[in-house]
Structure 1
Amino acid sequence: MAQHEVQREITVDRYTKGLVGPDQEWAGTVADGGTIHTHTPPACWGPMITPDFRGGHEVTRPVRVENAAVGDAVALTIRSVEVTSVATSTGSMAEREGAFGDDPFVDHRCPGCGTEWPESIVEGTGEDAIKCAECGENASSFGFEFGYTVAFDEDRTVGLTMDAEAADDLASNAREAMAIPKHARQHPILLYKPSGMPGTLGHLRPFVGNIGTTPPIELPDSHNAGDFGQFLVGAEHDWGLPDEDALAQRTDGHMDINAVREGAVLICPVKTDGAGVYVGDLHANQGDGELSLHTTDVSGRTEIDVEVIKGLDIDGPILLPNEADLPHISAPYTDRELETGRRLAAEYGVELVDDVGPIQVVGSGETINAATQNAFDRATALLGMSEGEVRGRCTFTGGVEIGRLPGVVQLTLLAPMERLEDRGIAHLVRNQYDR
């Protein structure tokens, strides 16, 4: 099918091998107002233990969006997220000495024969199962510092951590249990069969960890963010960057914000003509901060509606989460609160600004403080306010939440709809929150 043939609906079932950028093969073109369907493989652990990957995820090939040009934005409305895996393994990581150069996520090499990005085979189960096809040495860059295996109920409402015997059973059927899609090329992390903290029950609420638009330079997909992207600055491999200015070309697709779930709207910058929307890294659940740096990676299906916002010219994502995911202080005012506010305004002779709506500006950086400053900078540019006013509004009507340590945040505030009208996104806020 021709790359520029515009489709109202497009299904993507091919993936990159750990990279995002304008040179990746495009999946096709979706109409402005159209819908993207995906079935994505797990990210993080599977690609991390597969030595011929160039990044830590396995995301979809990019989708060109009709009418999207550099300086525009693309609003992605997440209509559904469905987990297809029945189990996964996860935990905190330990790097394997000798299996990489500068970056264990990117420049893999066999510690036995020195082959870069070696092809690999699976022999048995456990952390020694991934073998270099050339010499037979364990070629994976990662093991578990502490790991656990989780099985899900049929409706994907809870997960239960497994003991050693149950984890071993799942490892023997790893690819099927994780529902690895046909064209995915990663090894399933269930092979490692960790069994820490058995019998622990967890709530499930799936979301998308890496979703957004293509940056104008090629980056490892897991490093398309200001925190993980720090590993690229000064690196000597093919995707090394000279400085922070080069990293500023990122689009912050890798957010790991657990509010990027079914029902949310994500407004993404367009920094490459056609936008290049990509999706991956679905998680079954995660607490704020992703404190192990990893969580329950799963295969899953998404349905996403696409709308081009001309000339918005933003540097990073804006999130309109489900109302239930907003901080209490940022929830839209109730009729009773508005009536009380009008009486208070009349008492003091102040004009009430009652037409406001919640937005979350995503920021990323080397640390949480740097990520928050990045969000302040983006919010001041978006709203045409001083940083002092943004800080004031965030303190009085919002706050900052941690998507991922060490450096992804969402900065929340109630913004005047007049400012959002000027930027062309007020209709999205009104539709999301019935304003």
Structure 2
Amino acid sequence: MTTLLHDATTEQPPVTRLRVDSYTNGLLGPSQPMLGPLADGGTLIAGTPPGCWGPMITPAFEGGHEVTQPVAIAGAEIGDAVALKLRRMRVRSAATSSGVMKFVEGRYHGDPFVAKFCHACGTAQPASRIEGIGEEAIHCDHCGAEVSAFRFKHGYTIVLDQENHVSLTVNQEVADRLAHQASEMSALPERAAQHSILSLARADIPGVAAHMRPFLGNIGTTPARDLPDSHNCADFGQYLVGAPHRYALTHEALHAAKTDGHMDTNSVREGCIVICPVKVPGAGVYLGDMHAQQGNGEIAGHATDVSGETELTVEVIKHLKLDGPILLQNVDDLPPMARPMNAAQRQKVAELGARWGQHEIEQSGPVTFIGSGVNLNEATENGLRRAAAVTGLAYEEVLNRATITGSIDISRLPGTVRVTFLCPLEILDRIGIGHLVREKYQLP
């Protein structure tokens, strides 16, 4: 592996295959050195530690996730896009813990995900250690005080069966036993810096059986300025606007910089394609925050964060300027109205047109625009306007198409959505993704 800084003038020869097992401790942006470059068409394999809860209870983190060190993609320039084709995804953790959070006041400046400090000795982002198990197990290395800025309002520990795609919440006795083996049960990668959330041993709802359906909650390209990784989006990012810490931004600066990689969209899973904006030279592809399962909305605020491994291939799409991601979902994840018609249905449409004298029939394919905002209404409008801007369709036409050939689906509360509709293939060809849509959905 070679390292390439954004301001480096020495060009490294691109590699066709690259593995990443190093992380950024909660930050993304131009200050982070990139690995690579990876060739256009190359394969990226990434081992990722859990997302939210582990970094949340680790005071040294200045973001709510622990994502991979970014990778430069050869030929990717500002104003291009990069397609990430998710080939394989596997959960590594044997267990995890999650739930509804609450903050511990007096232990952070404005935002407990970003600006933690020790209330006893005043050290900002202190190093810390685990002593025992339970909610008071995190202690400051400087003074020894219990130091976590987070607690569970209601939480659970859950064991996972990757092979059979099922999981089960456990009782307190089992949770305690897992807590004593927290790092091993979490399968924390060697270079991960977070504490395992299993150490807190929370077990409020034992015996709940749940399906497993892993996906990545944070995947994309490096923002144009340094941001906490969990705030690379509009809804969480809103807490940076006017914040009392060093990552404070204006509204305009946030929206110019972010790439909306933190989507928590449960259809960003094996087989899909995520098309991401390029806002720094080389794109800086990163990934993390794998979840074992989650319904639409991430209603509890957090889901089942796990260690995992993902393999993807990359493709540079020149001159496709995006403000946020485009998603080509698996057919099973598409809303019913946006699923491509089969040959028999297309024949019946042709017969219907012939009866009425409408002989021209549009050829189309499904496409999903991610929208983000401070709430769901703003996120929906954002996704619709992004669709109009990228496709060149009138905003009102996008509204109509999303109504009769698509859907608006919640990805995360408070403000991330999917805007899906069937888009004319000639438009998708023009913007440079028609070949991806045709291949993905086996369209003529």
User: Which segment is superposed worse, 243-252 or 388-397?
Assistant: 243-252
User: Which segment is superposed worse, 247-256 or 281-290?
Assistant: 247-256
Q: Counterpart in 2 of 1:359?
A: 367
Which one of 231, 240, 255 corresponds to residue 248 of structure 2?
A: 240
Deviations 1:316-355 (A, max 9, x none): 1000011111011110011121111111111221234341
Q: Distance between the aligned counterparts of 2:253 and 2:401, measured in 1?
A: 29
Counterpart amino acid of 2:49? P
Q: Does the alignment pair 1:107 with 2:115?
A: yes
User: Which segment is superposed worse, 186-195 or 243-252?
Assistant: 243-252
Which one of 185, 189, 195 corresponds to residue 197 of structure 2?
A: 189
**8 Å Cα contact 1:400-1:409 kept in structure 2:** yes
User: Which segment is superposed worse, 25-34 or 202-211?
Assistant: 25-34
Q: Distance between the aligned counterparts of 1:248 and 1:294, measured in 2?
A: 27
Counterpart amino acid of 1:234? G
Q: Distance between the aligned counterparts of 1:353 and 1:197, measured in 2?
A: 53
Query: What secondary structure, in the 3-state scheme, does the structure 2 residue paired with 1:275 have?
Result: coil
Q: Distance between the aligned counterparts of 1:130 and 1:220, measured in 2?
A: 22
**8 Å Cα contact 1:14-1:27 kept in structure 2:** no
Once the 2 structures are TM-superposed, how far is the Cα of residue 154 of structure 1 from its aligned partner?
A: 5.3
Q: Counterpart in 2 of 1:70?
A: 78
Which one of 392, 404, 410 corresponds to residue 418 of structure 2?
A: 410
Q: Distance between the aligned counterparts of 1:121 and 1:413, measured in 2?
A: 49
Counterpart amino acid of 2:61? F
> What pairs with 1:129-148 in structure 2 (closer than 5 Å)?
129-148=137-156
Once the 2 structures are TM-superposed, how far is the Cα of residue 156 of structure 1 from its aligned partner?
A: 5.1
Q: Which runs of 5+ in 2 are unaligned?
A: 4-11
Counterpart amino acid of 1:420? L
Deviations 1:153-183 (A, max 9, x none): 2515111001000000000000000000000
Task: Provide closer, same or farther for how the CA distance between residues 367 and 154 of structure 1 changes in structure 2, counting only shifts above 3 A.
Answer: closer
Counterpart amino acid of 1:210? N
**8 Å Cα contact 1:29-1:64 kept in structure 2:** yes
User: Which segment is superposed worse, 235-244 or 254-263?
Assistant: 235-244
Which one of 92, 96, 121 corresponds to residue 88 of structure 1?
A: 96
Once the 2 structures are TM-superposed, how far is the Cα of residue 25 of structure 1 from its aligned partner?
A: 1.8
Which one of 304, 313, 332 corresponds to residue 305 of structure 1?
A: 313
Aligned-residue CA RMSD in angstroms? 0.9
Task: Provide closer, same or farther for how the CA distance between residues 241 and 156 of structure 1 changes in structure 2, counting only shifts above 3 A.
Answer: farther
Which one of 209, 215, 219 corresponds to residue 211 of structure 1?
A: 219
Q: Counterpart in 2 of 1:289?
A: 297
Counterpart amino acid of 2:327? L
Q: Does the alignment pair 1:98 with 2:106?
A: yes
Which one of 384, 392, 412 corresponds to residue 376 of structure 1?
A: 384
**8 Å Cα contact 2:224-2:256 kept in structure 1:** no
Q: Counterpart in 1 of 2:173?
A: 165
Q: Which runs of 5+ in 1 are unaligned?
A: none
Equivalent residue pairs, number: 435
Q: Counterpart in 2 of 1:43?
A: 51
Q: Distance between the aligned counterparts of 1:353 and 1:359, measured in 2?
A: 19
Query: What secondary structure, in the 3-state scheme, does the structure 1 residue paired with 2:266 have?
Result: coil
Q: Counterpart in 2 of 1:433?
A: 441
Q: Counterpart in 2 of 1:317?
A: 325
**8 Å Cα contact 1:353-1:416 kept in structure 2:** no
Counterpart amino acid of 1:206? P
Once the 2 structures are TM-superposed, how far is the Cα of residue 99 of structure 1 from its aligned partner?
A: 1.1
Task: Provide closer, same or farther for how the CA distance between residues 156 and 140 of structure 1 changes in structure 2, counting only shifts above 3 A.
Answer: farther
Once the 2 structures are TM-superposed, how far is the Cα of residue 185 of structure 1 from its aligned partner?
A: 0.3
Q: Distance between the aligned counterparts of 2:252 and 2:409, measured in 1?
A: 24
Which one of 75, 79, 91 corresponds to residue 87 of structure 2?
A: 79
**8 Å Cα contact 1:118-1:133 kept in structure 2:** yes
**8 Å Cα contact 2:26-2:228 kept in structure 1:** yes
Counterpart amino acid of 1:325? D
Deviations 1:44-102 (A, max 9, x none): 00000000001000000000000000000000000011000000000010101111011
Query: What secondary structure, in the 3-state scheme, does the structure 2 residue paired with 1:345 have?
Result: helix
Q: Counterpart in 1 of 2:261?
A: 253
**8 Å Cα contact 2:328-2:366 kept in structure 1:** yes
Query: What secondary structure, in the 3-state scheme, does the structure 2 residue paired with 1:332 have?
Result: coil
Deviations 1:25-46 (A, max 9, x none): 2122100000100001001000
Q: TM-score, normalised by structure 1?
A: 0.99
Which one of 11, 14, 20 corresponds to residue 12 of structure 1?
A: 20
Counterpart amino acid of 1:32? D
Task: Provide closer, same or farther for how the CA distance between residues 156 and 93 of structure 1 changes in structure 2, counting only shifts above 3 A.
Answer: farther
Q: Distance between the aligned counterparts of 1:351 and 1:42, measured in 2?
A: 53
Q: Counterpart in 2 of 1:346?
A: 354
Query: What secondary structure, in the 3-state scheme, does the structure 2 residue paired with 1:359 have?
Result: strand
Counterpart amino acid of 2:2? A
Q: Distance between the aligned counterparts of 1:310 and 1:177, measured in 2?
A: 43
Query: What secondary structure, in the 3-state scheme, does the structure 2 residue paired with 1:59 have?
Result: coil
Q: Distance between the aligned counterparts of 1:283 and 1:160, measured in 2?
A: 15
Query: What secondary structure, in the 3-state scheme, does the structure 2 residue paired with 1:118 have?
Result: coil
Once the 2 structures are TM-superposed, how far is the Cα of residue 369 of structure 1 from its aligned partner?
A: 0.5
Task: Provide closer, same or farther for how the CA distance between residues 262 and 154 of structure 1 changes in structure 2, counting only shifts above 3 A.
Answer: closer
Q: Counterpart in 2 of 1:275?
A: 283
**8 Å Cα contact 2:238-2:251 kept in structure 1:** no
